[in-house]
Structure 1
Amino acid sequence: MRNLKSLLFIGLALISTSLLAITPAPPSLGAESYILIDYHSGQVIAENNADAPLPPASLTKMMTSYVVSNELAAGNIGIDDEVTVSKNAWAKNFPESSKMFIEVDTQVSVRDLLKGLIVSSGGDASVALAEHVAGSEDSFVDLMNHHAKKLGLNNTRFVNTHGLTAEGHQTTARDMAILGQALIRDFPEEYELYKMKQYTYNNIPQYNRNRLLWDRGLEVDGIKTGHTDAAGYCLVASAIKDGMRLISVVMGARSEEARKIESKKLLTYGFRFFETVKPLKANTEVHQTRAWGGEIEYAKLGVLDEIWLTIPNGKRQKVKANYVVEDELEAPVSKGQIVGKIFFQLDDEDIAEVPLVALEDVPEGGWFTRLIDAISRWFSSLFD
């Protein structure tokens, strides 16, 4: 690898609008576990006990809706499908759970069931959707665990679709933050349901239990509440301010009011003392390097995806970036092939690193090109 080389990002050289460069410690919360992350960068802003396995209660329904949304996107089910309610999904089977009050042998559309699942947190809706997608709740749970593994929810295991306490049914605050990030990113249309404050089904008003949706001090648009005696009061929340989106997770709070207050503390802290910056746009070229034996002489290097960083307010102009690139790059080179790294630093500390990749294919050149390059490399090696 070559020595570090500096990059100049004009976008980060702007004068910060914040005059306060002090970042206080995050607030201490009255909850068993919590975490605050930046949606775009995935960076953790605050956390405590975030990897402790805990019962998720109705936060489980976030994964239930994720699987249903995936099946809708794949065309395996339709939003207007009529679902016949079985005895397993009967509202009376969930005396200790929230429900949308569906009745046996009635037909309910997937559209209405999703509202019942997300807005009113219906345990009955979760089973009805599971049976429609997979034939049985057990088979649907297999899909939930498959997607959990795919998303990297390493400390999560689902046993049911609704979140009532069961042996082995567990997750962590960190995993729920990752799941919230996936919901927003992968299924933005379905995510719109998470900000609904109320709806009516069968002449029964249904109200969202996420009280932060009514908070005028924050632009909260989701995500999910949960409560059982074993789990305590839980809330995954997401809010936007000036283009910055944060996701907070509070698990094991003492009351419905406490989970709201503690979640607001986290979100307020993040928005007040941090900002999200985008130093590199997708397909940004930062360097060119010799592609030996290639059809073109130099390969363009950079990033294929947008790069986001979360930094303390007032320090935007202090972000620096360096890159390292492989000494020898030989054709053929594929677009997206990793050829080095870009390191972002703040106050002489690494805050992020991303792959440096080829931005285009470099096919292997003809025999004459390869011969000339081989001779050039041989002469160059004599002077190394």
Structure 2
Amino acid sequence: MFKKNSLLIAYIFFFNSIAYSQIIIPDKVRQGIVIEHFNGNVLAEKNADQKISPASMTKIMSAIIVFDQLKNKKIKLTDQFVVSKNARNATRSGESSMFLVPGDKVSVEELLRGLIITSGVDASIVLAEGIAGSEEQFTNLMNEKAQIINMANTKFSNSSGTFSPDNYSTVRDIALLSSYLINNYPQYYKYFKEKDFLWIRTGGNPIKQENRNTLLFTDQEVDGIKTGHLKDSKYSIAVTKKKDNRRIIVVISGLPTMSSRAESSRLLLNNSLSKIDLFKIPYDKDKFKIKIWNGSSNYLDVRGTNKDAIFINLPKNLKNPKIRTELVYEYPLQIPIKKFEKVAILKIYNNKDLIDTQELFAQKDITNKNIFFKGIQNISHYILQ
């Protein structure tokens, strides 16, 4: 049974065999996944469930925890957190830094920019300590959130992504995390497309640092998300491009160089948009309706995870597609039925070929019918047999 919030956040990655064959992940990529954000379909994958060190892609989750706090009005962007010695000393040589000074008071918004744009280890720790009291307590929030988002193969042990055998994920889980970010925090997502950040620090000249996502500078339709680099996982990135009514998310890891990371992610983004179409199946009221026996309503409307329509992917070179759908469910459905409970499967065919399946969910609660009317309905049923 799906709880109410599951409908809003759960993206089920279905295998779309026709679309999948059109996109090839480069050999240089150790682990990779390409998804269509609006329906969650996997367009290509390679070792997508293999454990990786997420490196600074960890900071996507750290930012989400901050966004949660802002949404719940526990903190404000203008609030200031004190920089601890621990936050400054935790940044090792060669690691990204916002160059914070112990004792300084820095606003949440500036720290967010330092976390997201400059990828500062110090910024991540100041935010963690300011919100949860310690980085350890903050990572507990991160892991609780990972469970809510259904990141099945992820564990966080720090807020910055510095190497730890206990800080791990998969490219599939990072793609899921990226979809959640875009879906739930449009008002804060803007920080991920900022190209640079000027930090007017205490006791020194202002420092301007550029975003390490080089695709932001070369493609106006790329608007995020986060790069990463560690010795074991090498160069990685979660990147997304929005064009017209589509958004593609690419997560790749294990690239040998920054340039190969940019080249591979650009190729996957552009190929997904040029070779694959997003096909819309509107919600026909008659087709997306289930007959109910002995319930408080005679019919139940059902919908997929996208409230506007069902979206599937098809190759652009597919000749004369003839799309048809088949609603599959057990009759009679067992009552009571809770709103957003999974109740059916939509099978989608092109001609005779099954090309996709989508889970469908109840759009309202169904309770047992009044016992008097239930008896009349049962009698009528047997008379008419």
TM over 0.5, shorter chain:
yes
Distance 1:346 1:110, change over 3 A: same
The answer to whether the 8 A contact 2:23-2:268 is kept is no
My pick for the range that moved more, 124-133 or 68-77, is 68-77
Match of residue 160 from structure 1? 158
Residue 301 (str. 1) matches residue 301 (str. 2): yes
The answer to whether the 8 A contact 1:291-1:330 is kept is no
Q: Which has the larger radius of gyration?
A: 1
* In 2, Cα distance between equivalents of 1:127 and 1:335: 40
List alignment gaps of at least 5 residues for structure 1.
Answer: 1-20
My pick for the range that moved more, 77-86 or 314-323, is 314-323
Match of residue 12 from structure 2? none
The answer to whether the 8 A contact 1:226-1:233 is kept is yes
Find the residue that maps to 1:164 and give its secondary structure.
Answer: coil
Q: 2:38 aligns with which of 28, 37, 40?
A: 40
Residue type matched to 2:148 in 1?
A: K
Deviation per residue, 1:148-207 (Å, 9 max, x gap) = 122121221111111111122211111111111111111111111000001211121121
Q: How many residues are matched?
A: 358
Find the residue that maps to 1:156 and give its secondary structure.
Answer: coil
* In 2, Cα distance between equivalents of 1:210 and 1:82: 28
Match of residue 349 from structure 1? 353
Deviation per residue, 1:262-316 (Å, 9 max, x gap) = 11111111011112233135x95525555444565x3143326333222222448
Residue 269 (str. 1) matches residue 262 (str. 2): no
Match of residue 286 from structure 1? 287
The answer to whether the 8 A contact 2:20-2:42 is kept is no
The answer to whether the 8 A contact 2:195-2:211 is kept is yes
Alignment of 1:69-148 (within 5 A): 69-90=67-88, 93-148=91-146
Find the residue that maps to 1:301 and give its secondary structure.
Answer: strand
My pick for the range that moved more, 234-243 or 354-363, is 354-363
* In 2, Cα distance between equivalents of 1:34 and 1:136: 33
**Offset at 1:44?**
0.9
Residue 310 (str. 1) matches residue 313 (str. 2): yes
**Offset at 1:79?**
1.4
**Offset at 1:48?**
1.1
Match of residue 226 from structure 1? 228
The answer to whether the 8 A contact 2:25-2:45 is kept is no
**Offset at 1:250?**
1.5
Distance 1:70 1:351, change over 3 A: farther
* In 1, Cα distance between equivalents of 2:142 and 2:65: 6
Match of residue 369 from structure 1? 373
* In 1, Cα distance between equivalents of 2:290 and 2:61: 44
Match of residue 245 from structure 2? 243
* In 2, Cα distance between equivalents of 1:67 and 1:333: 33
Q: 1:198 aligns with which of 189, 192, 196?
A: 196
* In 2, Cα distance between equivalents of 1:34 and 1:97: 25
* In 1, Cα distance between equivalents of 2:371 and 2:238: 60
* In 2, Cα distance between equivalents of 1:79 and 1:362: 43
Residue type matched to 1:113 in 2?
A: L
Distance 1:215 1:378, change over 3 A: same
TM (norm. structure 1) is 0.85
The answer to whether the 8 A contact 2:82-2:105 is kept is yes
* In 2, Cα distance between equivalents of 1:258 and 1:337: 44
Distance 1:250 1:377, change over 3 A: same
Match of residue 175 from structure 1? 173
Distance 1:199 1:348, change over 3 A: same
Deviation per residue, 1:247-273 (Å, 9 max, x gap) = 001111111111000111111110111
**Offset at 1:208?**
0.4
My pick for the range that moved more, 205-214 or 309-318, is 309-318
Distance 1:147 1:319, change over 3 A: same
Higher relative contact order (CA 8 A, sep 6+): 1
